[in-house]
């Protein structure tokens, strides 16, 4: 198990490194950061000045190496635009994004697991079809469209919910639904498939034969086993939501990490973009790594493979 | 263990409950609590007019700080602000008498030392002012008396007053002295607390979220800016346009701009919103590869360039796509700028004439070429549609500004369709000098044009300037180096409670607004 964990950890570190390297070079491919920083219409003199002040004239590999060494020492740099320490800005905004991700995931699980269970119990029935439809709509509907529709109805027409900001828990309702709905199908399908498999297994038949109440069989014996892959999927989906929050945070003007990422791309704030990509990828990789470990722990065959 | 209720039904219930709680709706702002809530899509972290080069900071700059002079937007005349009078001592020196009754937001008195300190700090290149061109013309400033200063210029710079009114705000003496050090050891001037003399003072800033400004109750009497009326101004960052509109419609915002045309037209029907289309200093233009650097010699031919000018229906683009306040321009400048004239050769929309000219240039069947653009894709697509009617096929290369700018400056674009905002400076030198004095943006590098523009740039005599600039504009139009297209127009949408007037320099003067 330790060897397996170390191997996975090694892969995770390499992935993080590759992601940071790729994102660094991609920033440059999209144009000269000095031009972006100097602003539209800046004179050549202004641009040269910015280039000199921020050290953009050095070779790309030197800039990357410099950044990496400092990042490893815990220094993520200084934002060119916000004029603040990158790490402190990120850690100030991370809780908002985490809270949004957690709310969205909670919404997805609350909706998807019962739907999946019902769909499995009544497989191929009308209920199953309805559940499937709900899931397919979730998958097909772009989250920004859902977000705008929610704003239109709950924010403008009915004036029931605040549209922007994070002033109260009410502000999180619409963003959580918009963000969480997208992952509902995956969770629902997995719950349904897991339940179907478990319900047809021998130990469930034995439990039923023992005369246990149907609810006990369903929740205590079947769901507990069927839910295990959902737990690892949720971990990965949580990572996805942190990244996916870019769109939702932008629409609802939530001052989180996703919004910061979008803004930093707009203004070519290299240290900030680098750090956010690093934080997002480390999160994602960490969650995938934990899911791998969990799976390995639960199913010894994976460890051998 | 009574947690069995968890399920979709309870989720719906929770949301329903939330709605019931929130029935009273989100907190209403605006007139009721004397707070003007305005929003744009930019994050503001640094509230300093020299170390933040966003449009928002120009707007806040005029609220929180004052310049030496003030430009009347209607008449174009310069009026006193922190200075009571001024005169050109010679071609490279301006002398100002200053007010003696002005206080900074921190209570300290304003005097000549503040002007000298500010100008000497910002004109020093090593201090890293972001838009250095706004102050690069200043050589230094010297104190002539407690309320008298002399500003020395590197060379004659006729639009100096325009820059002093728009972009040279006065800070208290020693303002940046206590700047904290950055990671690299250099002082971080942007981190200094904002202090000015303006009609509003910065009360609170949350980086990337809001900037709160409060009325300066001690603002000096008889200021050309008037007396501030509204108690609080709250700027909020909302990136998503639809969200801004939603917030305006629900009353959580009082003012937004840059509303897309179709949405603006629809919003005009809302009972609580005023929609206004106002012109801006930004112009759209098309620059041709006159000297053939891009590898094609098609646009070295004057008749091809003139054919393009006749082929594009600029009037239709301006009125149908941009907005009612947009107007077609014939000269390489904005009509509201000093020195601009539209009295040059005009190329009316005439596809038949365009085809004729193409045939004369040797392209009776048209040709194919690459057009580059970065801003409103639909405007360039309309151009492409018009060109197709005369048999010219344009392939659109739509790029990010910073990527396009690089290749334009390297001369790699046969034709680029771009825009220029003149930094909101009401003087033609802010546009024509950038494009026609052999700089990297100059498509033609024509010596004669350069010569004419430079006479205008270096003379402090207004009539001389007008004369030479006119000759330059005539030549640019005659040779069709550039095809001036139209002025941009912006849609503003604001609460009916607000008395607001838009200006063409795209600097909303919030300090003049009041509630209806």
B393 vs B160: CA distance, rounded Å: 45
- A23-56 as b/e: b if 16+ CB within 10 A: bbeebeeebbbbbbbbbbbbbeebbebbbebbeb
CA distance A171 to chain B (A): 10
Cβ contact (<8 Å) for A255 and B208?
Answer: yes
Q: How many CB pairs under 8 A join A and B?
A: 159
The predicted complex's ipTM stands at 0.72
Chain A residues touching residue B243 (CB < 8 angstroms): 151, 163-164, 251-253
A161:B54 CB<8 A: no
Answer yes or no: do B11 and A262 touch at CB < 8 A. Answer: no
Instruction: Provide mean pLDDT across the span B274-292.
Output: 94
Between A243 and A91, the higher pLDDT residue: A91
- Within 8 A of B237 by CB-CB distance, chain A residues are 253, 255
**Contact assessment for residue B34 and residue B228, using Cβ atoms and an 8 Å cutoff:** no
At residue A150, the pLDDT reads 94
Q: Which residue in chain B is spatially nearest to A177 when comparing CA positions?
A: B15
Say yes or no for a CB contact (<8 Å) between B26 and A161: yes
Query: How many angstroms separate the Cα of A220 from the Cα of each of A212, A215, B27?
Result: 10, 8, 46
Query: Residue range B250-257: average pLDDT?
Result: 94
DSSP states of A176-228: HHHHHGGGHHHHHHHHHHHHHHHHTSHHHHHHHHTT--HHIIIIIIIIHHHTH
Interface touch A35/B401, C-beta < 8 Å: yes
B366: closest CA of chain A, how far (Å): 33
Looking at the DSSP bridge assignments, the partners of residue B215 are B200
Whether the pLDDT of residue B395 is over 80: the answer is: yes
CB neighbour class for A201 (10 Å; exposed up to 12, middle 13-18, buried from 19): middle
Report yes or no: A44 at the B interface, CB cutoff 8 Å. Answer: yes
The answer to whether residue A39 scores a pLDDT higher than 90 is no
- Which residues lie below 8 Å from residue A95, measured CB to CB, with a gap of 6+? none
Q: Express as a percent the part of chain A with pLDDT over 70.
A: 95
Residue B284, CA distances (Å) to A89, A302, B15, B370, B416 in order: 38, 62, 49, 18, 11
What's the confidence (pLDDT) of residue B352?
A: 96
Tell me if B15 sits within 8 A of B21, measured CB to CB: no
Looking up tokens 């702002």 gives B29
pLDDT at B42 (0 to 100):
84
How do beta strands B35-40 and B232-237 pair? parallel
Which residue has better confidence, A139 or B138? B138
Q: Which of residues 189-248 of A touch B (CB under 8 A)?
A: none
* Chain B residues with beta carbon closer than 8 angstroms to that of A38: 53, 130-131
Which of chain A's residues have a Cβ under 8 Å away from the Cβ of B53?
Answer: 38-39, 42
More confident site: B71 or B131: B71
Contact A154 B19 (CB under 8 A): yes
Q: Which residues of B touch A115 (CB under 8 A)?
A: 8
pLDDT in tens, B78-123: 999 999 999 999 999 999 999 999 999 999 999 999 999 999 999 9
List the Cα angle B176/B177/B183 in 5-degree steps.
Answer: 80
The 3-state DSSP class for residue B498 equals: strand
Q: Is B319 exposed, middle or buried (0-12, 13-18, 19+ CB in 10 A)?
A: middle
A246 vs chain B: nearest CA distance in angstroms? 11
**Which run of H or E residues covers position B151?**
strand B148-153
Instruction: Measure A79 CA to nearest chain B CA, in Å.
Output: 11
Would you state the pLDDT for residue A301? 66
Q: Which residue has the tokens 């119990």?
A: A121
Q: Do B207 and A252 touch (CB under 8 A)?
A: no
Give the per-residue pLDDT at A81. 74
- The CA distance from B38 to A209, in Å, is 69
* A161: closest CA of chain B, how far (Å): 6
pLDDT surpassing 70 at residue B13 = no
Predicted confidence (pLDDT) per residue in B20-63, tens digit? 333 334 445 688 899 999 999 888 888 999 988 788 999 999 99
| Out of B188, B249, B402, closest to residue A31 by CB | B402
* The pair of three-digit structure tokens given for residue A38, joined into one six-digit string: 């100097």
Chain A residues with beta carbon closer than 8 angstroms to that of B182: 78
Asked if B151 and B119 count as a contact pair (C-beta separation under 8 A), the reply is: yes
Q: Which of B11, B19, B188 sits opposite A161 (nearest CB)?
A: B19
Strands (E), B325-414: 368-373, 393-398
C-alpha–C-alpha distance, residues B175 and A293, integer Å = 56
Contact B154, B458 (CB under 8 A): no
CA atoms within 13 A on the CB side of B308: 32
**CA-angle at A233, arms to A72 and A291, nearest 5°:** 45
pLDDT number for residue B11: 39
CB atoms within 10 A of CB B352: 10
Least-confidence region, from B182-191, B345-354, B421-430 = B182-191
**Strand partners of residue B257:** B492
**Subunit contact B208:A263, Cβ cutoff 8 A:** yes
Nearest 5°: CA angle at B145, between B140 and B149?
30
- Contact list, A85 vs chain B (CB under 8 Å): 183
Nearest chain B Cα to A166, which residue?
B209
Long-range contacts of B360-364 (CB under 8 A, 24+ apart): B360/B303, B361/B301, B361/B303, B361/B304, B361/B307, B362/B301, B363/B298, B363/B304, B363/B392
Quick one: pLDDT at residue A305? 54
A82 interface with B at CB cutoff 8 Å: yes
Contacts of B15 in chain A (CB under 8 A): 173, 177
- Residue-range domains of chain A with CATH: 2-86 (no CATH), 88-303 (1.10.3720.10)
DSSP 3-state of A128: helix
Q: Which residues of B touch A254 (CB under 8 A)?
A: none
Task: Write B21-24 long-range contacts (CB < 8 A, 24+).
Answer: B21/A170, B22/A160, B22/A161, B22/A162, B22/A170, B23/A160
Span A239-248, average pLDDT: 82
Q: Which residue has the higher pLDDT, A197 or B30?
A: A197
Q: How many CB atoms lie within 10 A of CB A133?
A: 10
Identify the residue whose tokens are 């503001």.
B44
Q: Which two tokens stand for residue B19?
A: 């709605």
- Asked if A252 is an interface residue toward chain B (Cβ–Cβ < 8 A), one would say yes
- Neighbour count for residue B395 (Cβ, 10 Å): 11
Q: Do B133 and A110 touch (CB under 8 A)?
A: no
Q: What local confidence, expressed as pLDDT, does residue B224 receive?
A: 96
- Does residue A294 surpass a pLDDT of 80? no
């Amino acid at each position: 198990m330790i060897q397996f964990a170390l191997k996975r950890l090694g892969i995770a570190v390499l992935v993080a490194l590759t992601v940071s390297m790729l994102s660094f070079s991609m920033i440059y491919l999209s144009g000269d950061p000095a031009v972006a920083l100097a602003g539209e219409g800046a004179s050549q003199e202004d641009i040269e000045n910015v280039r000199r002040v921020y050290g953009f004239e050095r070779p790309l590999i030197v800039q990357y190496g410099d950044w990496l060494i400092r990042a490893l020492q815990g220094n993520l740099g200084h934002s060119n635009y916000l004029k603040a320490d990158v790490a402190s800005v990120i850690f100030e905004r991370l809780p908002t994004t985490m809270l949004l991700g957690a709310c969205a995931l909670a919404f997805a699980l609350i909706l998807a697991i019962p739907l999946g269970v019902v769909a499995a119990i009544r497989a191929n029935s009308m209920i199953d079809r309805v559940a499937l439809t709900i899931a397919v709509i979730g998958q097909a509907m772009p989250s920004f469209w859902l977000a705008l529709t929610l704003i239109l109805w709950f924010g403008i027409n009915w004036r029931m919910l605040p549209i922007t900001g994070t002033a109260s828990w009410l502000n999180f309702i619409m963003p959580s639904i918009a963000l969480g709905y997208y992952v509902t199908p995956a969770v629902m399908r997995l719950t349904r498939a897991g339940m179907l498999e478990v319900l047809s297994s021998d130990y469930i038949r034995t439990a039923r034969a023992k005369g246990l109440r149907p609810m006990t069989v369903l929740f205590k014996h079947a769901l507990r086993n069927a839910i295990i892959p959902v737990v690892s999927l949720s971990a990965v989906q949580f990572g996805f939501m942190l990244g996916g929050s870019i769109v939702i945070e932008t629409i609802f003007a939530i001052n989180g990490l996703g919004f910061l990422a979008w803004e930093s791309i707009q203004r070519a704030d290299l240290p900030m973009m680098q750090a956010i990509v690093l934080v997002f990828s480390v999160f994602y990789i960490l969650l995938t790594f934990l899911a791998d470990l969990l799976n390995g722990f639960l199913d010894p065959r994976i460890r051998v493979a | 263990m009574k947690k069995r209720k968890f399920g979709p039904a309870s989720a719906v219930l929770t949301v329903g409950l939330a709605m019931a709680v929130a029935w009273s709706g989100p907190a209403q702002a605006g007139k009721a609590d004397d707070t003007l809530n305005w929003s744009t899509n930019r994050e503001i972290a640094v509230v300093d007019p020299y170390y933040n080069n966003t449009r928002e900071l120009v707007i806040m700059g005029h609220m929180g700080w004052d310049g030496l002079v003030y430009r009347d937007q209607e008449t174009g005349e310069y009026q006193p602000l922190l200075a009571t009078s001024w005169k050109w001592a010679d071609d490279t020196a301006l002398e100002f008498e200053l007010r003696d009754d002005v206080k900074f937001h921190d209570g300290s008195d304003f005097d000549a030392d503040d002007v000298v300190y500010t100008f000497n700090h910002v004109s020093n290149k090593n201090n890293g002012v972001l838009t250095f061109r706004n102050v690069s013309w200043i050589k230094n400033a010297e104190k002539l008396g407690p309320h008298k200063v002399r500003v020395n210029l590197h060379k004659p710079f006729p639009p100096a007053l325009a820059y002093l009114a728009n972009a040279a705000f006065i800070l208290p003496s020693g303002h940046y002295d206590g700047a904290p050090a950055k990671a690299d050891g250099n002082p971080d001037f942007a981190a200094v607390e904002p202090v000015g003399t303006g009609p509003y003072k910065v009360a609170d800033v949350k980086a990337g979220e809001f900037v709160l400004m409060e009325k300066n109750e001690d603002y000096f009497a008889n200021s050309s800016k008037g007396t501030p009326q509204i108690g609080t101004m709250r700027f909020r960052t909302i990136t998503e346009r639809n969200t801004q509109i939603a917030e305006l419609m629900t009353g959580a915002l009082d003012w937004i701009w840059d509303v897309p045309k179709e949405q603006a037209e629809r919003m005009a029907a809302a009972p609580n919103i005023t929609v206004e289309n106002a012109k801006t200093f930004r112009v759209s233009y098309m620059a041709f590869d006159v000297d053939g650097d891009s590898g094609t010699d098609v646009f070295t031919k004057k008749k091809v360039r003139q054919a393009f000018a006749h082929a594009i229906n600029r009037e239709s683009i301006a009125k149908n796509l941009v907005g009612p306040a947009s107007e077609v321009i014939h000269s390489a400048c904005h009509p509201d700028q000093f020195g601009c004239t539209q009295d040059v050769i005009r190329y009316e929309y005439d596809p038949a004439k365009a085809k004729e000219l193409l045939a004369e240039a040797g392209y009776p069947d048209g040709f194919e070429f690459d057009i580059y653009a970065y801003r409103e894709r639909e405007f360039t697509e309309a151009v492409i549609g018009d060109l197709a009617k005369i048999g010219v096929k344009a392939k659109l290369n739509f790029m990010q500004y910073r990527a396009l700018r690089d290749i334009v400056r390297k001369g790699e674009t046969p034709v680029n369709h771009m825009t220029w905002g003149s930094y909101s400076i009401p003087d033609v030198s802010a546009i024509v000098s950038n494009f026609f004095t052999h700089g990297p943006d100059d498509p033609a590098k024509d010596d004669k044009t350069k010569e004419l523009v430079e006479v205008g740039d270096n003379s402090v005599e207004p009539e001389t300037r007008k004369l030479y600039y006119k000759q330059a504009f005539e030549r640019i139009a005659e040779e069709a180096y550039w095809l001036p297209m139209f002025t941009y127009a912006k849609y503003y949408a604001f609460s009916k409670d607000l008395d607001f007037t838009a200006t063409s320099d795209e600097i909303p003067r919030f300090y003049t607004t009041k509630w209806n």
